[in-house]
Amino acid sequence: MTANIYFTGGPEAWARYKLPLLEALASAGIEAELTNECPDPAAVDYLVFLPGTVSDFTPFTRAKAVLSLWAGVETITGNATLTQPLARLVDESLAEGMTDYVTGHVLRHHLGIDRFLTATDWVKVVPPLARDRKVTVLGLGQLGTTCAAALAGLGFDVAGWSRRPKQIDGIACLSGEDGLAEALARAEILVLLLPRTPETESILNAETIAQMPEGAVVINPGRGALIDDEALLSALDAGHLGHATLDTFRVEPLPADHPFWRHPRVTVTPHIAAETRPATASKVIAENVRRAEAGEPLLYLVDRGAGY
């Protein structure tokens, strides 16, 4: 089978993805015409998509699918010109990287490591055991479920919250508005792994932060728009929250004059929690091309109504 595939990313991304994509497509039995140069849109069978590139999908009349290289698709789901099926990226390397980040920072805050990095005197502060530390994960998709399970495996008392009811072994699963209040009330450490949708925009705001325990820690490797920045800063200034470790932001790169950079209770990391790895991501893309060519359902098809 032969497919004309347009990789929409710029030169840097193309250099990283060209060979892994060609290898993955060949392994999947796809004879591909893969290009990074804008082709005749009417001849394109598939778009391998990175946000910030194509904005008008109308000319791609033959395209069978738009295959995103990002897990988050909030920048494209509302595009009225996108009538082709849209698949987001669900990749094992994303889950592994996110788990490394989340468990590392949960342990950092649980153990109070920052305190000892700057210690100049002998003050003995012994942390509780993991089983006595309550961690809440908001969002129980692939990434949230994997991270919650890893934290539970380390012995933490883990609860998770999702819009729809779920059952996950070892995790106290909560849902709905009442469930959110319960999830926040127990969150000594809160991990945000929700997708960005109209319903999750600023889900952490002055009202919801007030429901959290005094001194709680926020870790956000999900989406910057999940947090009301001003409300977070106010809660940190007031001491209601103890710290915020943030990996995603409403504007990226985070502007140099943003108060997050200077706040003593904020740690900024530059969107490194779950980087897409070309070798594994390319296999997901190739499998979806194979499926579409064979008339099989696409993996990770986006529900436009839900936004993910």
271 is catalytic: yes
CA 133, 113, 155 angle in degrees (round to 5)?
Answer: 30
CA distance 160 to 187: 10
> SS3 of 50, please?
coil
Please name the residues in contact with 179: beta carbons below 8 A apart, sequence gap of 6 or more: 161
Strand partners for 67: 48, 87
CA 259, 107, 178 angle in degrees (round to 5)?
Answer: 75
CA distance 160 to 190: 10
Q: How many helices (H) and strands (E) does the chain have?
A: 8, 12
Which residue is catalytic, options 250, 258, 265, 271? 271
88 is catalytic: no
Residue 191 buriedness (CB in 10 A; 0-12 / 13-18 / 19+):
buried
CA distance 150 to 153: 5
Which residue is catalytic, options 105, 108, 109, 223? 223
CA distance 63 to 176: 38
Q: Rounded to the nearest 10 degrees, how much is the dihedral formed by the CA atoms of 15, 17, 18, 20?
A: 130
With both helix axes pointing from N to C terminus, report the angle between 142-153 and 92-111 in degrees, rounded to the nearest 10.
40
> SS3 of 189, please?
strand
Please name the residues in contact with 25: beta carbons below 8 A apart, sequence gap of 6 or more: 3, 5, 31, 32, 34, 282, 286, 289
Active site residues: 223, 271
